[in-house]
Structure 1
């Protein structure tokens, strides 16, 4: 009678994440993206309420509002993160 050798379960390396940890990281990334989107929309809405003269005083043209709110406008280093 043949008896197959006993195999030990291979354990994953200690540096791998558990499914629960991976899921938490995934959810955290999604929530961070949602928060970022909401901040960007709030910034764009606030800037949109300003008159053209007020925007000009800030050095912003109306067509730049969305780019600035996303932090991608030209010459706007830090504007979006400072709440403008």
Structure 2
């Protein structure tokens, strides 16, 4: 099976908020972004495999967290 190619990523440094139903808001920083996904710096643990809302400025996106490691998480845009 061929390896899945990653979409080109753009380095950024933008404040955002990661929200889950019933959980606290998690302030974070977007490190890089592509058409399909993103990488965030987070201050603590974030559950992998869960759906969240990522607020960037005045826009909200439905997202899923796909991996987490050492203060960073990666996710996929669902909308």
TM norm structure 1: 0.25
More strand by share: 2
Greater Rg over alpha carbons, structure: 1
| Higher RCO by CA contacts (8 Å cutoff, separation 6 or greater) | 2
